[in-house]
A and B are shown apart, each in its own frame.
Chain A
Amino acid sequence: MAVFLQSLISGILIGGVYALIGIGLTLIFGVMRVINFAHGDILMVGMYLTYILFTFAGIDPFVSVLISFPLMFIFGGFLQKVFINRVLNAVAQNQILLTIGLGLIMSNTVMLIFTSDYKIITTSYSSSTFQLGGGVSVSWPLLISFLITSAITAVLYWFLLKTDTGQAIRATAQDREAAQLMGINVKRMSIIAFGLGSALAGTAGALISPTYYIFPQVGSTFTLKAFVITVLGGMGSVVGATLGGVLIGITESMSAAYISSGWKDVVVFSLFLLVLLLKPSGLMGKSRT
């Protein structure tokens, strides 16, 4: 029972960060129908930003979210305005090539500056835990990152559901042309959506940096993970990505505990295939007609 509870709790905690990554990707896809293959690389840039702030300015990784969120928002908005807005009406393969290319440029630029050595951020709490009782222990950095994730997700939901700009983003995702007829500047919405998606990915990068190796190619793992989460939850669905993230987190930690950590990806992808077989549009997805 202790093992079960332990892995359930760890799974939920890490799943929160996964959700953040997935929400970012799904938001971008929902608004622009562009699949962002640079998503993991944007997360990687967020990790290095955290690393720089920690190493050169001594700013705690969790506190640095306050700086990296707006910086990554601006970075994402810039990418959208300068590059991606130009290919919105292009064929899908051109959009894919563009985002893959942007990702390659990011990872190689980082490699040029920092070399491909692994970096780690060691904080006083990096490996500290506390006992929950019953033999279950919770890692402090995971718990803090989960709390930050929850707060950001809550604010994001409020923004999308209650504010005019948030509703305009959803309207653009549901019917771009009709949104234009409402007087919504859809290019601006795209910039905000890509900025938000990047800020969420960058924040996820910051949050995992105390517990994860930082290296220029780390992004590809997360791009793949983000796809699994998003497709599992239903492309374009923010609720689906939240669910998908937590589900993948739990599945990973359960399979690591009960089978072996080497097999966790096998279990995750099997679950993924199973869901797609039973519900091809994803958990919260609507079949598009």
Chain B
Amino acid sequence: MAALLVGLRLRQLGRALLRSPWAIVTMVLGAVGALGLLSLLALAVTGMRAALPDAVPDALVLLGSALVVGWAVGAVLTSTDATLAPERFALLPVPARRLLPGVLLATALGVGGIATACALLLTLIGWSVAIAPLVAAMLVLPLQLLTCVLAGRAVAAVLARTLAGRRARDVVLVIGTVLLICAGLIAQGAIAALTALPDAGTAIGVLAEVLAWTPVGAAWGVPHAIASGSPLVALGQLAIALATAALLAWVWGRDFARRLTAPIVGGGGGRVRSGGWIDRMLPDSPVGAIAARGLRYRMRDPRHLVNVIGVVLLPLILVATNLLVGGDALQAGADDGGAGGMPALLPALAGLVLMSVAQLDTAYDGSALSAHVLAGVSGTTDRAGRALGIAVLYTPLLLLVCVGTIAVMGRWDLLPASLGATLGTAALVVGLGSAISVWMPGQTPAPEQSPFGRGSSGGAQALLGALLMVVAVWTVGLPVLGTAFAAMWLPWLGWVSLGLALGIGALSVWLGIRIGGRALERRWPEVLEQVSREP
């Protein structure tokens, strides 16, 4: 049974890859990214082992605990992936206990499982500070991996019934996004807090000691305790780790067995408010209708909502990080002018999120785009409606972010520069995205799928599109960004930047709609075919 399920899983992964050459490019890029992260980890572990051999076990306990928590959170974020849901097996005359090992193994065979296994193998470098902890670490490594995978399954099992309703799922996804985007800030805050303590090393040591006794860190506590020469502690922590794994397995297994006979049926979300003001605000023409639909989707479809939150949060977080880390520099900058005003330009980074918003907008529709083709909507109308929908929502949001940033800095003389850089970048990106997506619509998670599931990166086409857009921002957008930057020293240049931004931005959007619209007119069926393919 296990072999059958693992084979099924491998075949599913294989098929997903062989569907198009872009999928292979995407996979290669994903693998390169994962390898990059893993080599970073390898470097960190090797470096630490050489420089601070005493601190290595502590750090590894923290890493292990983070992995377990990561799996638990990841399980919630990807909870809509039903490839191995118990309900799939409900019609088979096979008891749960015969299915469980195979399902667990198949779950571990994803990208996450393989990456975790590699990461755990790399930690062995760190444990090699002495022979005894290395042997202990090798022995508990399977237990560590098992704890990770089981933590994910058990959390998903506990929350499964709650998450069956569409609205609950949407809410969880939104909270997850906020957490994910803020993860860097939280980590930075935690590190800042730790280093602010009189003795940072001791604090990490204490934290590791505590975590090693908890279910999340116990499996890493074993080699940790061996390294510090206390076999009795190691034994106690091994007991906790084993008990944790057993408990997680029991929770997951019980839920699995129950769902075989009482499957969870996805629920709806009830009625919605009509939001008639959206329709009244926009013209009752095809362009207005497409814009209004875009606005509704940005509130109701978690895949779009995630981007809206990203546009607002990303710059705010960067500003906050800047304040947290370089608070003094900022203060100094505020005093004597010059490069210290840089945070004023950070809102322009919202353009990074807008790149995928603009380019993938068509792809998010999936085969529903056929409604536009059947109604004979012209390419220009389609492009204009989408651009209008994006502009109506994002312009006020970007204005707010700029004003907020400037208010925090107290440098009102830089407001025009901030607005110029931000609105200029955004408009440039939206125009380019409108045109690019006709040839490279990119790939998005299917509707009803998690925004973090397969295809959430937009695939290779989106990466190439983003590259093109970055190049354009640094060439076509250079006058805007250059003057905005120079406004640090000569604030009146901010007005020049804002003027240039409005001019270049408007031109970009107009050209994007024109060129993209004409091309779309010729390529409707081809674009429809590309976006109808689901990952």
Do A and B assemble together?
no
Q: Which residues of A contact B (CB under 8 A)?
A: none
